[in-house]
Structure 1
Amino acid sequence: MASKKKKSIFDFDPFEDMEEMIKRIQEEFDEIERQMMEMAKKGGGEVKTYGPYVYGFSITIGPDGKPVIEEFGNIKRMGNKPLISEEREPVVDVIEKDDEIRVVAEMPGVDKNNIKVNVDGNTLIIQAQSENKKYYKEVELPAPVDENSAKANYKNGVLEVVLKKVKKSSGKEIKVE
């Protein structure tokens, strides 16, 4: 009988361990779902299916070197309870360059004719609706923009909005009389 070799701390494989952890979590979710369905059926209750539920987050490093965490999806936190909305919040990246701001939003499954983009001051509002998907996001822009310069493009489920920054005046000397 072959004996198992004891693992050394140097034999640690984070990806293998992560895959095992994800597998265990999925098995636990499946078991909870199975138990809930059984309870609903035994209680004579009607089994309703809701969803899809979408929740995620992205982490980026801001210009000051600090992490910026942004949540997306259709589940929001309200105190200790989740609030589920029909509208999903798309994943959005805001890229600021010298003279422009580029906003990129992932919104698969909608037609470009069903997308509405509005600029209101320093806020970009993105809305879209298809037969079975709704998106809504208010994006705070990092600088004032020229609303008339806005251009939007939608391709392969990705919306890209480019806005020119308002040029700051270099100032003007006022002669005192």
Structure 2
Amino acid sequence: MSFIWRRRFSDIFDEIEEMIREMERLAEAMLGGFETRMPRGEFKGPIVYGVRITIGPDGRPIIEEFGNVKRRGRRAIIEEAVEPLVEVIDEKDKVVVIAEIPGVEKDKIDIRIKDGKLIIRAEDRERKYYKEIELPPNIKPETAKAKYKNGVLEVTIEKEKPEEEKEEGGIRVKVE
């Protein structure tokens, strides 16, 4: 019985290794010979490309790209602003957004909530960051608070409290 469990457990690692090989092939196809195709002096700043792999609620892997290298078909386009690595934690009473934006002063960070999206802009002499994050519909934008420390931005936004009418089928009447 334990042999079967070990076999299945090792299959997960085989799948992860295959995903990593596929990502390496994809990155090589996108960026291979990139230096020779780019005109000298046209772009100033770092070239950032990264991938984060998480397991979704259905057990399938979710691959998220970040950085300033974007895919347009088979070509790679470099944008001036880097898209930071972001994690959205949707809790019962609040939403917490954590973004990695190292190298900028906190007074250079602009955070806005507009049309159901959290928009993060940060710009310093050498770095630019930009990211739009889709937020759940039941947030209270006026409660948003942000902290920035050691290159990590944390934005907390409260959610609307569920109405009493939704609780247990109606409005509760107090007994005197």
Q: TM-score range, shorter-chain basis?
A: 0.5 to 0.7
Q: Percent identity?
A: 49
Evaluate the alpha carbon distance shift between residue 130 and residue 88 of structure 1 in structure 2; reply closer, same or farther with a 3 A threshold: same
| 1:118 alignment partner, SS class | strand
Root-mean-square deviation over aligned CA pairs: 3.1
Amino acid at match of 1:74: N
Asked whether 1:153 is paired with 2:147, we answer: yes
Question: 2:88 aligns to what?
Answer: 94
The equivalent of 1:39 in structure 2 is none
TM-score, normalised relative to structure 2: 0.68
Q: Greater helix share, 1 or 2?
A: 2
- For residue 169 of structure 1, the aligned residue among 144, 163, 169 is 163
User: Where do 5+ consecutive residues of structure 2 fail to align?
Assistant: 1-20, 22-32, 172-176
Q: In the alignment, is the contact (CA less than 8 A) between 1:122 and 1:144 conserved in 2?
A: no
Equivalenced residues, count: 139
Kept in 2, the 8 Å contact 1:94–1:102? The answer is yes
TM-score (norm 1): 0.68
Equivalent residue, structure 1, for 2:63: 69
Distance in 1 (alpha carbons) for counterparts of 2:94 and 2:137: 9
- Indicate the SS of the match to 2:46: coil
Match of 2:131 among 127, 130, 137: 137
Partner of 2:112: 118
Larger radius of gyration: 1
Distance 1:158 1:33 in 2: 30
In 1, distance between residues paired with 2:71 and 2:56? 24
Cα deviation for residue 90 of structure 1 reads 0.2
Query: Which residue of the other structure, out of 51, 54, 57, is the alignment partner of 1:57?
Result: 51
